[in-house]
Structure 1
């Protein structure tokens, strides 16, 4: 036996509270974090920034050709970097055979552009000397490059000592270096470069990779406040297995309040880092400067920590004064590895929308016209129930708009024109759910159930169909999202959102409202314009439709309203009703059951 709905008023109230909480979160986000009240638009509707990258071959490798595999791998890595930064609907493709075009929608943050511009080549080098960031005052030394080159390292050191009272190199300038931490790597040319490099000049922090991994180098910190002389590379960044950012924890497992970047090296990297960490740790008591190793990213030192203990398991943690955003950006750069090629930025420009607001306006008009046509059809087919159908569509539209706006704020989602197409499909999905539900109610009424029970029993059977149908849509949207890229992904994403919204609306709005409507006089009383009148539903008679029975004077049940009774004493009901209308098989079976009940009641009365 069907059961009545469980307090539809509470269900509607829970939906209202959820919407109020979401709206409140958006309002708070607007005033505290600048969240917008409208969804962000994708490249085809708003425009953005376009960067064209051209492969740059290193010196001595001009004979190597750039392959299609190199380009495809570079595109995949750049896409991972951009997606990890929270930007949706970015377009990354090749231009010709040797260029990559990266188009990022909206006003693009500089950190995101840096993810595209840089190759994220990371190397571990030992620190040999730490210097002041400023350059030597060349007015106090020979001016010509020839004279500078002719000076020995000792002469340059003496010159610097005369200027600021400090030397920059050790006496070990000759012989074969014992290891990568040997100061013999500080050659005359390296000393000259250190004297002339000005780390306070932003142009020297551009991050161009010009170093030779087999030799020492001079590098600036990314902040430009320190200058380093570094030994040859101990470990290449290609041995980095993974990188992640999070709160640093101490030995007791408690957080220290600082952000750290955890690195994990592969097997070969673990062996190399074990040797390097042991060597550096040996300097902890004798030479604190050479106890440090520098993490060099694209030619700049991002951090140069001391080696507190030897690391033998290939797991290292980089700590410093990182903010959460800085730690996450750096981890993203390192996590997705180095690009297979070095690239230079050929052009960077702002681009206008490829489709523009005009196409968006036409898409919205198409959705509105489709909505009006659906409502008109509902009014013609289901009369007063068209109000419930239209209300479901309005609620679904409002929820979808709210969810997309929240996603634009929290995860950087952007609405593209294919995404708008996915939203328009929601009109048909929601209307179809209502039709399936109503037709199940009609079937129950035709089978002889009273209207209130028909609504509950129809819902019990319809919801299984609705859930299965929407699950099929969700699976299709999920597969399309995983396999597709660009605009098609946007279509799949919005299709999935609208499918979930349809389930929310039909469970938390459409069914509870139907349960409340059948309790009113207009709908539940069967007004001819309500869409729930007996003739429109196909009920056999008004008594069956309303489910109200009176006791006759002889103690037998008799339909209220003067409807004809089934003849007692016969198990075979007539094939037609009193109006000559042909009865269905289910209606004839129902009349047979009523006839048997009446005969039993009559037998009991006669025995008494």
Structure 2
């Protein structure tokens, strides 16, 4: 156990030095860090409880999810009946069901058979296979196709999962590091953004569904005629809002066809730009191959017709198609400012939410509170560590000094690993660091007590030290591996603060095993080689 070849000693020292070096950018001014090579710009991010920020609880609009589900179900009912050449008198909603009435003389048995062929929604959003008789019911020429409660819950759950990914992309586009985004219950999302200084902009970015659609304007009647009467069945009245600041001063009506020519899902890029010719801010966009083909075909077939750009059921603009647009790209204009164009481009790049999000709870942690947390946590960690180091030195003398050096190296290495992975340091993380100091000391205590026992048994200095390290190693490995497994379980099953505690604890266990098994032993070996003591100094 006390044999160290030159290459082993070099490897131990280089490993310790390299990992400790990763922690140094945390102590440097940002201007110095920016001059370092990219691989060395390692740093930790302070969590919400240390640097302040925004804490939001978001709720997915479950009513909108249900409405969308029923609309898709209605479209499926129309499609299968049309394909079967069955004529519909009327179709509408009743609760969580689609109710359709056939015209007189239509084949009701055929209609029932075709409706039962509608594919089931993912997770059983509705069942029309005959497995549940209540899902498709018939009363004469009236048919009812219902969505099950379990299916609606599944659809809401999937909408939340998709919303989490969209929220994550939007936050990443803002340049915020290490946000906490977690699911809560059936339809809620927890969002914590450390360091965010503008909660209003954050809520604006998250509050927009950003469902972009390109549709043709219906010119079969004027907006005034549609408002006073009824718009065509395949069209709807949508409005363009004219704003002065944040206030809407005018709403311009349009009759817009319901059929979506190209949707925002086929966008691959969107950027804010300034159009010098028109002296206005615009959003430049680019479609994928499929969207580009549909966009080119539509603009070729509808020259001199208005083409509406619709965002969240509001018309942004409805320009005339002057000529075919064949490049798969274009611009969106609509009285944008620099900020609003940048925000819209961000939303389009991140993708649309499946349903609107509502902020149901908001908390803002100020920087002063974060600084108080840093000060209190740091003071507690330093005081606790000093007491431990002083006790070890007083108890074990020179060997206690070796242990203290190893503990300091251990903590710095742990900061280096946290910086390497870009971890977020929170108050529970600081608690994990303090616990790591205790565990590192515990490993050395086991070794030193074994050395004492061997020395009291009359063994020589080298035999006592070798026996102490050899016999304590099994206990140290068992204890640390058990703790490591516990921290891994905490990390994968825990949330928020528990994850931060588990991460620092797990990394601390790894560095503790390194310092206890190799670094402390190497310091003792150097002392033996240089001083050749006649007795164990403790």
Q: TM-score range by the shorter chain?
A: 0.5 to 0.7
| Equivalent in the alignment of 1:596 | none
Among residues 256, 267, 270, which one is paired with 1:216 in the alignment? Answer: 256
Give the distance between the partners of 1:298 and 1:503, measured in 2 at CA. Answer: 60
| Equivalent in the alignment of 1:117 | 206
| Equivalent in the alignment of 2:494 | 484
* Contact 1:119-1:298 at 8 Å conserved across structures: no
Matched, 1:511 2:521: yes
- For residues 84-105 of structure 1, give each alpha carbon's deviation from its aligned partner in whole angstroms, at most 9, with x where no partner exists: 636547487989x999775533
Task: Give the drift of 1:477.
Answer: 1.6
* Contact 1:53-1:101 at 8 Å conserved across structures: yes
* Contact 1:82-1:115 at 8 Å conserved across structures: no
**Relative to 1, partners in 2 of residues 1:517 and 1:21: Cα closer, same or farther, differing over 3 Å?**
same
- For residues 468-494 of structure 1, give each alpha carbon's deviation from its aligned partner in whole angstroms, at most 9, with x where no partner exists: 433332322222122222222222122
Task: Give the drift of 1:516.
Answer: 0.8
**Relative to 1, partners in 2 of residues 1:83 and 1:371: Cα closer, same or farther, differing over 3 Å?**
farther
| Equivalent in the alignment of 1:431 | 441
**Relative to 1, partners in 2 of residues 1:294 and 1:403: Cα closer, same or farther, differing over 3 Å?**
farther
| Equivalent in the alignment of 1:105 | 194
* Contact 2:45-2:424 at 8 Å conserved across structures: yes
Give the distance between the partners of 2:478 and 2:331, measured in 1 at CA. Answer: 50
Q: How does 1:250-329 map to 2 (within 5 A)?
A: 282=297
* Contact 2:2-2:521 at 8 Å conserved across structures: no
SS of alignment partner, residue 12 of structure 1: helix
Task: Give the drift of 1:23.
Answer: 2.4
Give unmatched runs, 5+ long, in structure 2: 68-92, 97-148, 271-284, 333-341
SS of alignment partner, residue 214 of structure 2: strand
**Relative to 1, partners in 2 of residues 1:442 and 1:70: Cα closer, same or farther, differing over 3 Å?**
farther
Among residues 425, 437, 445, which one is paired with 1:415 in the alignment? Answer: 425
**Relative to 1, partners in 2 of residues 1:243 and 1:345: Cα closer, same or farther, differing over 3 Å?**
same
| Equivalent in the alignment of 2:13 | 12
* Contact 1:474-1:499 at 8 Å conserved across structures: yes
Give the distance between the partners of 2:452 and 2:253, measured in 1 at CA. Answer: 79
Normalised TM-score (structure 2): 0.55
Task: Give the drift of 1:387.
Answer: 0.4
**Relative to 1, partners in 2 of residues 1:18 and 1:483: Cα closer, same or farther, differing over 3 Å?**
closer
Give the distance between the partners of 2:407 and 2:370, measured in 1 at CA. Answer: 27
SS of alignment partner, residue 125 of structure 1: strand
Task: Give the drift of 1:398.
Answer: 2.7
SS of alignment partner, residue 216 of structure 1: strand
SS of alignment partner, residue 446 of structure 2: helix
**Relative to 1, partners in 2 of residues 1:427 and 1:63: Cα closer, same or farther, differing over 3 Å?**
farther
| Equivalent in the alignment of 1:373 | 387
**Relative to 1, partners in 2 of residues 1:501 and 1:525: Cα closer, same or farther, differing over 3 Å?**
same
| Equivalent in the alignment of 2:260 | 233
Task: Give the drift of 1:366.
Answer: 3.5
Give the distance between the partners of 1:277 and 1:104, measured in 2 at CA. Answer: 36
**Relative to 1, partners in 2 of residues 1:151 and 1:498: Cα closer, same or farther, differing over 3 Å?**
closer
Normalised TM-score (structure 1): 0.49
* Contact 1:78-1:116 at 8 Å conserved across structures: no
**Relative to 1, partners in 2 of residues 1:386 and 1:202: Cα closer, same or farther, differing over 3 Å?**
same
| Equivalent in the alignment of 2:122 | none
* Contact 1:91-1:486 at 8 Å conserved across structures: no
Give the distance between the partners of 2:444 and 2:192, measured in 1 at CA. Answer: 42
* Contact 1:123-1:233 at 8 Å conserved across structures: no
* Contact 2:22-2:416 at 8 Å conserved across structures: no
- For residues 565-594 of structure 1, give each alpha carbon's deviation from its aligned partner in whole angstroms, at most 9, with x where no partner exists: xxxxxxxxxxxxxxxxxxxxxxxxxxxxxx
Task: Give the drift of 1:426.
Answer: 0.9
SS of alignment partner, residue 259 of structure 2: coil
* Contact 2:51-2:367 at 8 Å conserved across structures: yes
| Equivalent in the alignment of 1:469 | 479
Matched, 1:43 2:48: yes
* Contact 1:423-1:494 at 8 Å conserved across structures: yes
**Relative to 1, partners in 2 of residues 1:512 and 1:420: Cα closer, same or farther, differing over 3 Å?**
same
Give the distance between the partners of 2:344 and 2:468, measured in 1 at CA. Answer: 55
Task: Give the drift of 1:150.
Answer: 7.2
- For residues 180-226 of structure 1, give each alpha carbon's deviation from its aligned partner in whole angstroms, at most 9, with x where no partner exists: xxxxx7x9x77xx67xx659x77599xxxx999xx737xxxxxxxxx
**Relative to 1, partners in 2 of residues 1:457 and 1:357: Cα closer, same or farther, differing over 3 Å?**
same
| Equivalent in the alignment of 1:603 | none
Task: Give the drift of 1:378.
Answer: 2.4
Give the distance between the partners of 1:455 and 1:332, measured in 2 at CA. Answer: 63
Give unmatched runs, 5+ long, in structure 1: 130-146, 153-173, 178-184, 218-230, 246-259, 264-272, 310-316, 532-608
| Equivalent in the alignment of 1:493 | 503
Q: CA RMSD in A?
A: 6.1
Task: Give the drift of 1:328.
Answer: 12
* Contact 2:20-2:409 at 8 Å conserved across structures: no
**Relative to 1, partners in 2 of residues 1:128 and 1:308: Cα closer, same or farther, differing over 3 Å?**
farther
SS of alignment partner, residue 389 of structure 1: helix
Give the distance between the partners of 1:6 and 1:431, measured in 2 at CA. Answer: 26
Structure label with greater radius of gyration: 1
| Equivalent in the alignment of 1:338 | 353
Give the distance between the partners of 1:301 and 1:472, measured in 2 at CA. Answer: 60
**Relative to 1, partners in 2 of residues 1:468 and 1:75: Cα closer, same or farther, differing over 3 Å?**
farther
| Equivalent in the alignment of 1:139 | none
* Contact 1:89-1:487 at 8 Å conserved across structures: no
**Relative to 1, partners in 2 of residues 1:515 and 1:3: Cα closer, same or farther, differing over 3 Å?**
closer
